[in-house]
Amino acid sequence: MTAEIIDGIAVAAELTARIHGQVEQLAAAVRLKPTLAVVLVGENPSSQVYVSSKARKAKAIGIAAVDHRLPASTAESDLLALIRKLNADPAVHGILVQLPLPDHIATTTVLEAIDPAKDVDGFHPVNVGLLGIGDVERAFVPCTPLGCLLLLRDRFDDLTGMNALIIGRSTIVGRPMAQLLVRESCTVTIAHSKTADLEGRCRQADIVVAAVGRPDFVRGSWIKPGATVIDVGINRVTRADGANVLTGDVAFAEVAAVAGAVTPVPGGVGPMTIACLLANTVTSACRHAGLAPPRWAVPARKPASIQGAAAVA
């Protein structure tokens, strides 16, 4: 069997086009321009690339992206003062503080200072709690797991009854992913570094979401034939020929030989993460204007079917 390669670039482009349409409607109907404030402290090269890419993609569809670049020596109190200012600014709908922050700044203190109603990354405890009770109408859902869910919903109308294994229990990927899939009526297992018999658990799963941060960690022999595999990992590795490349957490060729569908790295989850940030910003702008935000998941292009359907018989 050869798996379908899930095209995250194409799904993200479709989502971005719908977000763009919503931005144009907001401009025409209520003269509102969704605005995202992006805060970067220090000169971390990866963070600079991420922040520039987010701002470029926002601006391309009419979302204002206002950069706040602060030196690495910025005092925590000055960063908190900036966040208070952005919280109070009615023209700002989303606030994103790029992580990681320099060591002398307490990440938790900063994330908790962001107004939950502008927390488009979904990291504030209020949003974590709202997602925990399944209230995604009011929560902001973290962008990467939201992107993974939209990829799954692009493939399946209904995830009910599927066995989902999430490898990784981080607060930005694994845990919110689990909450989202429970809400979709999947039977969810969260695996982590202390999990016993990870391979055996993986073989039971109709959906595997790998968020580990270890290249080629998930092997083809672990995968149930026909399963859908979402690879969140982004690992920089040096190949034998000396080239620096990005690779995921999944041994792609092996897994693609067994799975029903798999996301590539790059070109899978990554583009969805940025698109979901833009979606969350527009959701926030709608809420601030007292308008109902759009539902970003669309009916699947394929008929609902469960790979390895015996799991729900």
Give the residue nearest to ligand NAD (CB).
Answer: 170
The answer to whether residues 293 and 282 touch, using CB atoms and an 8 Å cutoff, is: yes
Contact map string, positions 172 to 191, toward ligand NAD, x by CB under 6 A: xxx----------------x
Contact map string, positions 209 to 228, toward ligand NAD, x by CB under 6 A: --xxx---------------
Q: Which region among 82-90, 108-116, 169-177, 255-263 touches ligand NAD (by CB under 6 A)?
A: 169-177
Between 8 and 260, CB nearer to ligand NAD: 8
Residue type, 125: P
Catalytic one of 54, 57, 118, 224: 54
Cis peptide before 100 (omega within 30 of 0): yes
Catalytic one of 22, 57, 119, 121: 121
Catalytic one of 98, 154, 224, 231: 98
The answer to whether residues 96 and 36 touch, using CB atoms and an 8 Å cutoff, is: yes
Residue 224 known to be catalytic: no
The residues in 133-152 that bind ligand NAD, with binding defined as CB under 6 A, are: 144
Q: How far apart, in Å, are the Cα atoms of 6 and each of 11, 145, 269?
A: 9, 16, 9
Sheet holding 228-231, edge to edge: 4-5, 261-262, 228-231, 207-210, 163-167, 187-191
- Give the span between the Cα atoms of 261 and 230, in whole angstroms: 8
Q: Which region among 29-37, 45-53, 90-98, 162-170 touches ligand NAD (by CB under 6 A)?
A: 162-170
- The two structure tokens encoding residue 313: 């018989």
- Give the span between the Cα atoms of 144 and 99, in whole angstroms: 14
Residue 48 known to be catalytic: no
- The two structure tokens encoding residue 277: 């940030």
Residues in the interface with ligand NAD (CB under 6 A) total 23
Residue 98 known to be catalytic: yes
Catalytic positions are 54, 98, 121
Contact residues for ligand NAD (CB under 6 A)?
Answer: 144, 167-170, 172-174, 191-193, 195, 198, 211-213, 232-235, 269-270, 273
